[in-house]
Amino acid sequence: MEEILEILEKDGRLSVEDIARMLKKKPASIKQAIKKYEKDGVILKYKAVINRELIRDTDSGVRALIEVNITPQKDLGFDRIAERIYSFPEVSSCYLISGTYDLLLIVEGKDLHTVASFVAEKLAPLENIRGTTTHFLLKKYKEDGIILKHREENKRIAISY
């Protein structure tokens, strides 16, 4: 991958000048390259990795990983079905995977019931869906290469009788 992209992928907040210094290039050429990557759809978005564990007081909802078995459509394969599934607002990510299942979804909802309703009422009834397995995320330790620090929980002294 291009050096500029590798740098931005690690830290999207770096300035054009910082990247130019790192690569020993002129800022104008770095700025031009970044603009081209954005225009061509290579760079789609800049984002922050947020440790929601530290802001647990807010209503952060739940995330689930959902494995989906599908029957591919003749002459269309998995793409048409995947497109229909990733169009649901609850689906934040959708991947074609190898192995026992065909698609892996990351689904977000306000609570367990919302995600369960999505699976039961929207996803499972779709034509060509043969089965699903849902895994709720309980705790994140690392995301996008970043180790997440967690709140200190109450350390209770074990009492035995």
pLDDT digits (tens, 9 = 90+) for 79-129: 999 999 999 999 999 999 999 999 999 999 999 999 999 999 999 999 999
pLDDT tops 80 at residue 160? no
Count the alpha carbons within 13 Å of 81 in the hemisphere toward its beta carbon: 25
Inter-residue contact 104 to 97 (CB < 8 Å)? yes
Q: Is residue 76 one of the residues assigned to a domain?
A: yes
In the predicted structure, residue 146 carries a pLDDT above the cut 90 = no
125, 73: one domain: yes
Say whether both 7 and 69 belong to one domain: no
Backbone angles phi, psi at 142, to 5 degrees: -150, 135
* CATH code where residue 69 lies: 3.30.70.920
Q: Per residue in 45-58, pLDDT tens?
A: 998 887 777 776 55
The reply to whether 33 and 68 lie within a common domain is no
| Higher-scoring residue by pLDDT: 153, 45 | 45
Q: Is residue 68 part of a domain?
A: yes
pTM of the model: 0.76
Contact 66, 107 (CB under 8 A): yes
Residues 67 and 135 reside in one and the same domain: yes
Q: How many domains does the chain have?
A: 2
Domain that holds residue 32: 3-39
Reported confidence tier of residue 1, pLDDT bands at 50, 70, 90? low
150 within domain boundaries:
no
Q: Give the whole-angstrom CA distance, residue 45 versus residue 142.
A: 21
Same domain? 35 vs 67: no
Q: What is the pLDDT of residue 30?
A: 94
